[in-house]
Structure 1
Amino acid sequence: MDLVKFENALKIGETAAIEFKRAGGTVVGIPENAAPSMVKNFISAIGNPDLFSPTLYLEPEIFKYRKKTLIHIHVPSSGEVHSFKKRIYDRMDEADVKVSATAKIAQMYIRKQEIYTERRMYPYVKLKDLRLDLLPMVRILAKNNGGGSHLWEKLSNMDLLKSAGLYAEDHATGKNGFNLAAVMLLGRDEVIRDVSPAYQTDALVRKVNVDRYDDRLTVVTNLVESFEQLFKFATLHLPDKFYVEGAERKSLRNIVAREMLVNTLMHREYSSAYQAKFVIEQDRMYVENANRARFNGPITLRNLEPFPKNPLIANFFRNIGYSEKLGSGARKMFKYGRLYSGVDPEFIEDDVFRIIQPLNENYSFDAEIANGMGGQKSSQNGGQKSGQNESSELDSTEFILEQIARNPHITRRELSKSVGMAPSAVQKHIEKLKSSGRIARIGGDRGGHWEVYRK
């Protein structure tokens, strides 16, 4: 057991991924002479098919910490849904909840699948079943995104699809064909309906008529055109606030809407019948979609571990410039979402994935900077709850640390613009990082630089 990691776990306390026996994080220890028999009994229990099915293989580790005997058990993610005494449980926050509903159990099996469902082969789908008329536009987008040149420019239609991984060989069966990713990205509408009957994205505006909707768009076409339709819907119903970064004016509305929509299209679990949504309300907008969750709970800059749910679709989107490298979308959302509304967005990982972006038409980052209040959160700034302030402060500090690590010569004024805070607020986080020994300033404000110390 790595004692540094163990001490860090003690500082963090119990989470959805770490549990102490006893609870609370206090190290009690066990009798040293009892440890071997406890490990033996544990191994016998998890290997008993009458208790666990499928049976488990775990390796408890006995170690010493401050003269106390402890047992550490690492439980890796499994590709199976395990039952205990023929009952299935799911982890919800810090509790184990019994699952009996068929739909919920089915979602758990989807979540546990080791194979990506986007790779599912459809050998009877032919070239005529795809929207080949979209490929000229795809080539132009890829060329522009590639800085003026791209491999796809010179490839035939079939070679382009093979290059994108949309036509391949299933090594389990030996069959060649188009996969689900190909159908979802470029399929004709009738083919998509046949392959994924429940697929659609329901876009709603609920600002006045909150019981029904003020405007609605139902999108059931391929993902390339779905993004364009949903993005147009977003720009129609969201304010575009003035913001300048460096010498360039940037559309905060476009950045935030784009990242939310790309995420819900790129990382959705398309084998699920759950209907995806994009909803704009008076004080927030959100997307939600079926998901193959890696864990349950909020995603922050501190625990962000990018994982591609549909790597073929994600790679296609990156090639045509709809998205950037894995994980950059969440980081951009935390940065520009705060600039757009004054409040951090929320990312919630579960069988239904959600991104919630607070909205506040009266908020202006430029006005806040002028008043010396950038980054200060109040009950008027999108309804931020006081109980979230501590978590938001931690995320802001981590975000500033990340910006300094990327550019050790960054100035406080540049940090202020980058993270969307007034210089005084940035300085508060810098002092916190300096006092904790995570950064140090080498040299003066002019010509000096930051050094980052990773713990």
Structure 2
Amino acid sequence: MTETRLRDLITQGEGTQVEFKAASIGLNKDAFDSICGFLNRSGGYLILGVNDDKMITGVQESQVQNILDNIITSANNPERLNPPYYLSPEVVEIKGKKLIVVYVPESSQVHTTRGKIFDRNQDGDFNITKNSDLVAQLYLSKQNSYSENQVFPFVQISDFKPSLFDKVRNLARSQQPTHPWLEMDNEELLRSAGLFKRDMKTGKEGYTLAAVLLFGTDICIQSVLPHYKTDAILRIANLDRYDDRDDVRTNIIESYERLMAFIAKHLPEKFTIINGQRVNVRDHLFREIIGNLLVHREYTNPFPAKLIIEKNQVRTENWNKPHGSGAIDPANFSPYPKNPIIAKFFKEIGWVDELGSGVRNTCRLLKLYTPGAVPTFTEGDVFKIVIPVEDGTIEDASIISSEEGSEEGSEETVEETVEETVEETVEEIIRLLKNKPNLTVKKLSEHIGLTRRGIEYHIAKLRKSGRLKRIGPNKGGYWQVVDEQ
């Protein structure tokens, strides 16, 4: 959050969607009453380091990390917040004082803290646990607001694809080796993920629309949503129709994989070094785009979602329940969950990050994939994303950036794709050779994650600049790092 945006919220004062806590030396005991109220009502901002009179008192610097850890740990502890919810607090400094801002989106579920249900109004948080009418209204409002919660009493476990459960467990294991889903049977997993609910209008229980979309067989999905499909289109030469197309009508787990495969088929790879690891920028960028397309779509509307690759851009369109209108400013926007259960499920298997990160990650990654390009996000009944890309597709791409590419193009690839992270790569080579002067190019390649030709390119540059010398023969010799004066 920008300092300007935070100042505006403080000036606005407390209300249904803003709460101040002094929290100078620790997290207030009632902070999770507000977090619970925001989740249950319409979302909001918990701002720590401001008192009730809008005075910025700040959080003691020595306590900032403890408070951040406390918020994140408590939000994932079902004894403190149930069901748990991922929160991502951030620190903003104003006039030398540190404030902690916790954006809490509206949830599609009813949450409790310490066994109590809190709701929110202009006067703050209030405990409605013993008011059965207000509790029932809260459950009904959640079900009406989020179509993913719609219950289908006649959908059975046999209507789900068995192979998807093993796939999901493997993906969850890659994120967390001791993930609780690994010890659950299929039905327990579905319930744990919030995919089995009770309809508060009729009292009937059943699997939800989210369960059908995530695990349903194609027949089951088409029975529930006959209009459901996602169109993947390549339109470069044949502008009237298309050059290639994938009509996707399967569950959204396999839809994600098919859409990613369509991108891989038609757009060139580019690599960079991030934290010492070689990263495929294309895959990371479009992971965000496709995740957004599937996670935030309003599935009850017959408008088909679209992924369209054109000559110099990639567009996505999906029906949406808008919470604003027009272009989104990535530097100043409040993320709003459209399908929180599906979003949380995708986060568990590592396909999306926390709420709101998609816009930020897209802007950051696009700079690496198409230098100088700026994505556009447009909110409306149809949510649109436009990603500028360099002219041409994988068939006529001039750079060869995969390990299997020709030796001739490898040096050019490294030069182009690590342009913004050359210094990081160079310093990693220097560090490794200082510690182990006899490391081979092959070993350096394995440590850093670049091709051998990429390592050779950087070593040649280091030798030319005088920072690196070869002592002895290629076989049996060693590298000497020349410290800069």
Q: TM-score range by the shorter chain?
A: 0.5 to 0.7
* Counterpart Cα distance in 2 of 1:365 and 1:120: 50
The one-letter code of the counterpart of 1:139 is R
Aligned residue number for residue 207 of structure 1: 236
Structure 1 counterpart of 2:173, from 115, 130, 143: 143
Q: Shift of residue 327 of structure 1?
A: 1.2
Partner-residue secondary structure (3-state), 1:309: coil
Q: Shift of residue 316 of structure 1?
A: 0.8
The one-letter code of the counterpart of 1:195 is V
The one-letter code of the counterpart of 1:262 is G
* Counterpart Cα distance in 2 of 1:189 and 1:135: 16
Superposed counterparts of 1:286-435, under 5 Å: 286-342=315-371, 343-361=373-391, 367=416
Structure 1 counterpart of 2:313, from 276, 280, 284: 284
* Counterpart Cα distance in 1 of 2:159 and 2:388: 40
Q: Shift of residue 132 of structure 1?
A: 2.3
Aligned residue number for residue 450 of structure 2: none
Superposed counterparts of 1:154-233, under 5 Å: 154-233=183-262
Q: Deviations over 1:242-272 (max 9, x none)?
A: 3222422111110111111111001100010
Q: Any stretches of 5+ residues in structure 1 without a counterpart?
A: 10-76, 78-111, 373-455
* Counterpart Cα distance in 2 of 1:248 and 1:289: 34
Aligned residue number for residue 88 of structure 2: none
The one-letter code of the counterpart of 1:324 is D
Q: Shift of residue 367 of structure 1?
A: 4.4
Check whether the contact 2:374–2:388 (CA below 8 A) recurs between aligned residues.
Answer: yes
The one-letter code of the counterpart of 1:211 is D
Partner-residue secondary structure (3-state), 2:271: coil
Check whether the contact 2:285–2:366 (CA below 8 A) recurs between aligned residues.
Answer: yes
* Counterpart Cα distance in 1 of 2:297 and 2:242: 24
Aligned residue number for residue 58 of structure 1: none
Under a length normalisation based on structure 2, what TM-score does the superposition of the two structures give?
0.52
The one-letter code of the counterpart of 1:245 is I
The one-letter code of the counterpart of 2:334 is E
* Counterpart Cα distance in 2 of 1:8 and 1:276: 36
Aligned residue number for residue 158 of structure 2: 128
Q: Deviations over 1:191-246 (max 9, x none)?
A: 11111111100001111112111110000000111111111111010011232224
Aligned residue number for residue 85 of structure 2: none
* Counterpart Cα distance in 2 of 1:309 and 1:7: 27
Partner-residue secondary structure (3-state), 1:243: strand
| Identity among equivalent pairs (%) | 40
Worse-superposed segment, 204-213 or 168-177: 168-177
Q: Shift of residue 300 of structure 1?
A: 2.0
Q: Shift of residue 366 of structure 1?
A: 5.4
* Counterpart Cα distance in 2 of 1:299 and 1:114: 26
* Counterpart Cα distance in 1 of 2:161 and 2:6: 54
Q: Shift of residue 186 of structure 1?
A: 0.7
Check whether the contact 2:230–2:304 (CA below 8 A) recurs between aligned residues.
Answer: yes
Q: Shift of residue 171 of structure 1?
A: 2.5
Q: Deviations over 1:94-116 (max 9, x none)?
A: xxxxxxxxxxxxxxxxxx99520
- Provide the aligned C-alpha RMSD in A: 2.7
Aligned residue number for residue 295 of structure 2: 266
Q: Any stretches of 5+ residues in structure 2 without a counterpart?
A: 10-105, 107-141, 392-397, 400-412, 422-485
Worse-superposed segment, 154-163 or 363-372: 363-372
Check whether the contact 2:273–2:418 (CA below 8 A) recurs between aligned residues.
Answer: no
Check whether the contact 1:201–1:218 (CA below 8 A) recurs between aligned residues.
Answer: yes
Q: Shift of residue 136 of structure 1?
A: 1.0
Check whether the contact 1:241–1:253 (CA below 8 A) recurs between aligned residues.
Answer: yes
Aligned residue number for residue 235 of structure 1: 264
Check whether the contact 1:267–1:309 (CA below 8 A) recurs between aligned residues.
Answer: yes
Partner-residue secondary structure (3-state), 2:145: coil
Check whether the contact 1:340–1:365 (CA below 8 A) recurs between aligned residues.
Answer: no
Superposed counterparts of 1:101-120, under 5 Å: 115-120=145-150
Q: Deviations over 1:344-384 (max 9, x none)?
A: 11111111001110011579995499699xxxxxxxxxxxx
Under a length normalisation based on structure 1, what TM-score does the superposition of the two structures give?
0.55
* Counterpart Cα distance in 2 of 1:169 and 1:368: 51
